[in-house]
C-alpha cells in the first residue's frame, strides 16, 4: 500500500482514536476523523495537523449517518485504504442487573457500529481489490471478567464477526485485523464508562460490585496512556506484509491472552485465586469472599424443577423429555404451545408442563417465570436453550437480521436470567445452563453473527459464574457440536440476499450451504445434548464452566484454542472456508 493513504477512523475524539488519528496523519496520510461532536472535540485532535486531518460528524449507532459519512469520504478522496473501527465504550455492572436498553446500547455501539462501517466501506475496497478493515477489540474480547460481562460479550462478538469476515474476504485484496488493547489509562474508565443503573444508584444486590468498580478504576489509573495503542493502529495501517488476524497491544493483553488460552477454566481460576497473576482481578476473590455466605446443601439427585426455553423442538424438546424421564418436573416453554405442546408432553403429561414464552418479549418472560414459581414454588435449573442460526455474508446482512439474531440468542438469555436469578439468590441454590455452540469458540464463514451471538454468550456466562458464586449458584455453558435437527433446516435463517438469490457470492454461498447441510444430515440426533443437560441437572459435584458435547465440538474447540491464528487460517482455507474466484460477482461501484 503506497504512502498517502486515506484512513477513516471512528471514535476519534479522544483516547485510542485521537492518538491513532494524529500519528497516522503525522506519517503523511489523510485521516477522516469521525466523532459525535466535531465542534467540541475536533480542534484538539487536528491541532498542528489541520491539512491532514478532516473531522466528520458520525454516530455509529445511526445507520444513515454511517452510510453518508463513508459515501462522503469516498466522494472526496476516491478511495478508502483503511477503516479503523475504534468507537466504543464499556458497561460496568452485574450481568443480571443491566437493562435491555443498556445492553442494546453496548451492542449497538461496540459491535453493530463496527459492522455498519465495514459494510459501507467494503464494496469500494472490493472494487479496488485492496483495503484494510481494522476492528478494535480488547483484552476483554479474549478474557472475560466479573461485572464487565456485557462489555466482554460485545468484544467477544467483535472477535467472532471479524474472524468470520476474514475468511469471507480471503483472496479479495481486503484484509481484516483485530487489535486487542489491554488496560490503559484513558476516559474509557472515567467519563466513557457506563455503570448499570442499580449500581450507579447504590441499590445493587451484588455487594462486591461497588468495591469492584473502585478497584477497576484504581488499577486503570496506574496504566500507561493511549500512545502504544495509537502506535499499533498506525503500524497496522502501514504494514506492507499480510496482516495477522489479531494484534494484541500491551503486556497484559499479550501475556494474559496467551495464558488464558493455555489454561483450562479450572486452572485459570486457581491462578487468579492464588494471586499468581499479581493484582490482575485478585480483588474479585477478596470481595466475593467478603460477601459470600455458605450455600445450603442441596440434593441434586432428587427431583428438580427445570425450566427449558425453546422446548418446541430440537435440543430443547429432547432435553425437556429426557429430564422428565429422569423424574424431574419440567416447565417446557415455547412460542406456540397450541401447535407444539402436545408432542413434547406425549406420554409425560404428569411431568412436562407447557407454558407460552417468547424470549424476545420481556413481559412474556416475566409472566412465564412467575407462573412457574407460583405453581411449583421454585425453579432449580434454568436451561437457556432458545436460539437459531443466521446464515449469510457478514457485509450483506440487514439491520433487522442482525438485531433479531442478537435479540434471541443473547438478550433472550439475559431476560431469563433477570427473571430467575432473584428467586435462586433468595433460596441460595440453583443452576444456570446457557446453551452456546462450537461456534461460540470456532467462528466460520457465512455464520459471522451466529458465532458473534454465541461468543457473547460464552463471555457473559463466564462473568456471570463469578458474580453469582457467593450465593452458591452455578453456571454451565453447554457447547454442542453439529447434530441432525431442524436447526439446519426449518430454523436456519438464510439472509435476504441469499434467500432471494441476490448475494454477490451466491454460488459460493450455495456450495458452502450444501456442504453444511450434508454434514448435518450425517450427524446423530439430539439425544446426546439432551443427556448432557439432564446430567448437568443431576450432577452433585460443582458443574464445570463449560461442557462440550459431541466429538466434533471437543476436537474443534481443543484444536482452535491450541492452534495459532495463522496456522488455523491456512488449514481452514485449504478446507474450503472461502469464496473461490469464480464464485463472486464483480463488486458494485460505490454510490458517491
Which residues are catalytic, by number?
A: 312, 436, 450, 454
Q: In terms of Cα–Cα distance, which of 241, 238, 249, 244 is closest to 82?
A: 238
DSSP H helices, 129-250, are 149-168, 197-200, 208-221, 227-238
Question: Which are the contacts of 347, defined by CB distance < 8 A and separation ≥ 6?
Answer: none
DSSP state of 414: H
Measured in Å, how far apart are the chain's first and last C-alpha atoms?
A: 23
Please answer whether residues 110 and 154 qualify as being in contact, where contact means their C-beta atoms are separated by less than 8 angstroms. Answer: yes
Which residues sit opposite 395 in a β-bridge?
none
Other beta carbons within 10 Å of 203: 9
- In 3D, which of 64, 104, 70, 72 has the Cα closest to residue 84? 70
Sign of CA dihedral 307, 310, 311, 316: negative
* 110-143 residues labelled b (16+ CB within 10 A) or e (exposed): bbbbbbbbbbbbbbbbbbbeebbbbbbbbbbbbb
Give CA 329 to chain center in angstroms: 32
- State the DSSP H helix or E strand holding residue 576, giving kind and residue range, or none if neither: none
Q: What is the 3-state secondary structure (H, E, C) of 485-554?
A: CHHHCCCEEECHHHHCCCCCCHHHHHHHHHHHHHHHHCCCCCHHHHHHHHHHHHCCCCCCCEEEECHHHH
Read off φ and ψ for residue 67, nearest 5 degrees: -60, -40
Indicate if the alpha-carbon torsion angle 149, 368, 534, 299 is positive or negative.
positive
Q: How many whole angstroms from its chain centre is CA 170?
A: 23
CA distance 373 to 331: 10
Q: Which residues lie below 8 Å from residue 126, measured CB to CB, with a gap of 6+?
A: 169, 172, 173, 174, 587
Dist. CA 530–CA 521, nearest whole Å: 18
- DSSP character at residue 281: T
Report d(CA 245, CA 440) in Å as an integer. Answer: 18
Amino acid at each position: 500500500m503506497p504512502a498517502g493513504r486515506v484512513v477513516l477512523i471512528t471514535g476519534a475524539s479522544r483516547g485510542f482514536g485521537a492518538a491513532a488519528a494524529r500519528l497516522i496523519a503525522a506519517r503523511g496520510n489523510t485521516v477522516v476523523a469521525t466523532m459525535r461532536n466535531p465542534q467540541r472535540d475536533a480542534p484538539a485532535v487536528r491541532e498542528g495537523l489541520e491539512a491532514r486531518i478532516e473531522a466528520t460528524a458520525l454516530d455509529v449507532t445511526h445507520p444513515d449517518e454511517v452510510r453518508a459519512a463513508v459515501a462522503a469520504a469516498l466522494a472526496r478522496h476516491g478511495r478508502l485504504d483503511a477503516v479503523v473501527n475504534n468507537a466504543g465504550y464499556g458497561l460496568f455492572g452485574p450481568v443480571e442487573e443491566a437493562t435491555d436498553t443498556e445492553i442494546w446500547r453496548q451492542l449497538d455501539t461496540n459491535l453493530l457500529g463496527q459492522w455498519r462501517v465495514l459494510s459501507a466501506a467494503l464494496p469500494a475496497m472490493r472494487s479496488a481489490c485492496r483495503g484494510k478493515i481494522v476492528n478494535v477489540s480488547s483484552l476483554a474480547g479474549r478474557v472475560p471478567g466479573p461485572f464487565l460481562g456485557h462489555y466482554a460479550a460485545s468484544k467477544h462478538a467483535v472477535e467472532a464477526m471479524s474472524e468470520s469476515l476474514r475468511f469471507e474476504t480471503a483472496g479479495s485484496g481486503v484484509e481484516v485485523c483485530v487489535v486487542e488493547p489491554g488496560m490503559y489509562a484513558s476516559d474509557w474508565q472515567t467519563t466513557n464508562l457506563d455503570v448499570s443503573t442499580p449500581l450507579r444508584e447504590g441499590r445493587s444486590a451484588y455487594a462486591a460490585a461497588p468495591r469492584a468498580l473502585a478497584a477497576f478504576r484504581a488499577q486503570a489509573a496506574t496504566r500507561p496512556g493511549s500512545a502504544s495503542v495509537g502506535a499499533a493502529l498506525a503500524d497496522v495501517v502501514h504494514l506492507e506484509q499480510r496482516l495477522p488476524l489479531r494484534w494484541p497491544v500491551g503486556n497484559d493483553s499479550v501475556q494474559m491472552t496467551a495464558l488464558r488460552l493455555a489454561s483450562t477454566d479450572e486452572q485459570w481460576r486457581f491462578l487468579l485465586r492464588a494471586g499468581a497473576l499479581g493484582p490482575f482481578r485478585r480483588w474479585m476473590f477478596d470481595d466475593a469472599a467478603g460477601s459470600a455466605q455458605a450455600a445450603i446443601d442441596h440434593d441434586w439427585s432428587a427431583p428438580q424443577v427445570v425450566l427449558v426455553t425453546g422446548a418446541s423442538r430440537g435440543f430443547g424438546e429432547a432435553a425437556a423429555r429426557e429430564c422428565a424421564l429422569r423424574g424431574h418436573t419440567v416447565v417446557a416453554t415455547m412460542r406456540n404451545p397450541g401447535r407444539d405442546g402436545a408432542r413434547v408432553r406425549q406420554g409425560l403429561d404428569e411431568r412436562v408442563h407447557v407454558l407460552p414464552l417468547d424470549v424476545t418479549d420481556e413481559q412474556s418472560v416475566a409472566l412465564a417465570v412467575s407462573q412457574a414459581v407460583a405453581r411449583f414454588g421454585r425453579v432449580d435449573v434454568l436451561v437457556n436453550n432458545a436460539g437459531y442460526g443466521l446464515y449469510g455474508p457478514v457485509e450483506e446482512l440487514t439491520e433487522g437480521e442482525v438485531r433479531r439474531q442478537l435479540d434471541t440468542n443473547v438478550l433472550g438469555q439475559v431476560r431469563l436470567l433477570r427473571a430467575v436469578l432473584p428467586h435462586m439468590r433468595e433460596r441460595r441454590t440453583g443452576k444456570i445452563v446457557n446453551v452456546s455452540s462450537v461456534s461460540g469458540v470456532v467462528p466460520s464463514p457465512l455464520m459471522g453473527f451466529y458465532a458473534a451471538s454465541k461468543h457473547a454468550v460464552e463471555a457473559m456466562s463466564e462473568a456471570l459464574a463469578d458474580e453469582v458464586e457467593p450465593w452458591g449458584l452455578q453456571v454451565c455453558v453447554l457447547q454442542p457440536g453439529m447434530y441432525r435437527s431442524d436447526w439446519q433446516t426449518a430454523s436456519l435463517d438464510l439472509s435476504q440476499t441469499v434467500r432471494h438469490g441476490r448475494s454477490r457470492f451466491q454460488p459460493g454461498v450455495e456450495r458452502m450451504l450444501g456442504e453444511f447441510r450434508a454434514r448435518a444430515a450425517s450427524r446423530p440426533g439430539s439425544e446426546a445434548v439432551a443427556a448432557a443437560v439432564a446430567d448437568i441437572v443431576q450432577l452433585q459435584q460443582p458443574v464445570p464452566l463449560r461442557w462440550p458435547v459431541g466429538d466434533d465440538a471437543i476436537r474443534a474447540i481443543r484444536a482452535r484454542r491450541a492452534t495459532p491464528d495463522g496456522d488455523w487460517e491456512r488449514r481452514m482455507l485449504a478446507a474450503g472456508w472461502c469464496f473461490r474466484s469464480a464464485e463472486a460477482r464483480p463488486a458494485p461501484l460505490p454510490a458517491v
